[in-house]
Structure 1
Amino acid sequence: MRYLLASTMLALAVPAAADHHELPDQAEFAATHAEALSGAINHPSRAEDRARDEFRNPAETLALFRVEPDMKVGEYAPGGGWYTRVLGHYLGGEGQLVGLYFDPTSGPFNAESQQGIRAGAAGFPAEAAEFTGLPAENFSAMTLDAIPEGEAGTLDRVLVIRMMHNMMRWNNADSELKKMRELLKPGGMLGIVQHRAPDDAAADYANGSKGYLRQDDVVGYVEALGFELVGSSEVNANPNDPANWEGGVWAMPPSLGGDDEMDARTRDLGESDRMTLLFRKRP
C-alpha cells in the first residue's frame, strides 16, 4: 500500500522515483526559507488563524510542496482565507497568488451558483487584499472554464487543500485536474491535502460524500491524469480520527457538525486525519 509511508510521523517527506528530476531536500528547503515562512505564518493578519496551525502545519506543508517565495501559485477553491493569508504574505514580495475557481459549467451548479462562482473569482483580488492587507495587484483569479490567454503553462504550483472530496462527489475531478495540469509549467507540481479514509473503508463511504477518500484511490486517480507522485508526508495525519463518522468528516473540528453528544466526543480530537501528497506534471 502506498501509504505505508506513514510508518513514521517524523518522516515529513518521502520522495518517490521521478525520472531524472530531483526534489530539493526538504529540510534544507525549510531552512533556506524559514524566515519567509515564519514571517508569513506569524503575520498579525493571521492572529485568529493560528489556533489551527497545530493541525494544519502550514510551514511543513509548504516546505513539502517546495513552494518558493518567488513562485506563481494557484490556490484551488480559496474559501475563508486561511491559506490565502499564509500564501499571500509568503508570496507577497516576488511571487503571485492566483485563485483558481471551479469551472461553473461542471458539477451540480445551478444558474445562481454559477453566477456566484464567477463573482467569487472576479472579487478574489480585492477580497485577498482585505484578508492580508496587501495590494490587490498581488493577486489574480480565474474560473477553470475561462483560462485567460497566455496563462496556460505559467504556474509553478497548484495547491488543492481539503477539496478533492468535493471534486469526486461532484463528478468533476477529471476535468478540474486536467485544467490544473494545463496551467502548470512543465515539471510544475500539484500539492494535495485531503481528509483520509482507512484503507479498508467501503467504496460508498470513501467516494467523497463523507469528506474522506482512500489515499491509494487519490494517488491512482491523479497519476492517471498525467502526474507522478514525488512526495508524501504524515505531517497532517491524526491517529485520533477514526475517519468513520456516520455524518462524515464534518463531525470533526472545526465543523463540529453533530449533536451535542457527538460534539462532546470529537471536540478534543483535533482536526481530521489527512494525507499530504506532492505530484509532478509528467511530460
Structure 2
Amino acid sequence: MARSSRLCNVLSKAKHHLIAAMTVASFILAAPLAAQNKSGSTGEEVVLGLSKDRVAITATFDGSEILVFGAVKRETPIPTGAPLQVVVAVSGPASPVMVRRKEKKLGIWVNTDSVLVDSAPSFYAIATSAPFSDVLTDTEDLRYRVSIERAIRSVGAGMHIRGAQDFAEAVIRIRTQDDLYSLRENTVAVDEETLFRTAIDMPANLTEGAYRTRIYLTRGGEVVAQYETTIDVDKVGLERFLYSMSREQPFLYGLMSLAIAIAAGWGASAAFRLLRNS
C-alpha cells in the first residue's frame, strides 16, 4: 500500500509539472501571434513593388532612381476617420563617424573637440504623403526611429564636450549637402487610400551594401501596418575588381597604381614632345 501511495504522489506531481509546462508553452506560442495582430490592428497590409531591387555601381555610374509602388490589402472596407498616410524610408549601411569641431585661434583654424558618432547611415531618404509631423507622431517616431535625427545614434560624447548634439547635427548637415540625406514631404502619391507610389533618388557616391527599405502605413499619426525589404547596392566590373584588389591584395594594388602613374606620366611627356617637335 505504501508503495502504491508513493507511486500516486509521483504521478500527481508529474501531472502538475506537465500542466505548468503546457501553460508556459501556450503563452510563448501566443506572444508572436499577439504582436502580429497588434501591428496590423486595422487589418491593412502592404503589398510592395520596386522598379529594381539591385543597383550596380560601375565606372560610369552617376546615380539611380528607384520607383517604389504598392497597394494596401484589406479584407474589410476602408476604415473611416483619419485618412491613410504612407512613409517610405530607405537607409544605407550604418557605421561610426568621427566628427571634429574647428575653431579659429590666433588666426589659424585648429581642431578643438571631437566626438565619435556611434552609428550613422551612409544614405538616408524619407518620402511622405503629407508633412512629416502629420503622418507620424513623435511617440511613433521614437518607437520606429524613422526621422533622420532618430536614425543617428550618438552616446559617446564626454561630459566635457559642450554642445554634444551639434556633432550629430553636423553629420546631418554635411550629408544633406552631399545629397546623401533627404526628407521629401508630400512626394508619395496615394490614390483612393489603396495605391501609392514614389521615387527615391540615389546619388553616385553610394556605399556598397544592403539598403534597408521600410514602408509604414499610418492613420492619425499612428502606425497601422509596416513592410520591410532590402535593395542591394554592389560594385561590378572594373570597379569591383579594383575594390577587391585594394582590400585583399593591397601590395599588388599599390604596384599596379604606381605602374599606371608612371605609364601615364611617360605617355603625357611623349605626347608633349611630339607636339613641340611638330
State the TM-score, normalizing by the size of structure 2. 0.26
When you count strand as a share of all residues, which structure comes out higher?
Answer: 2
Larger Rg: 2
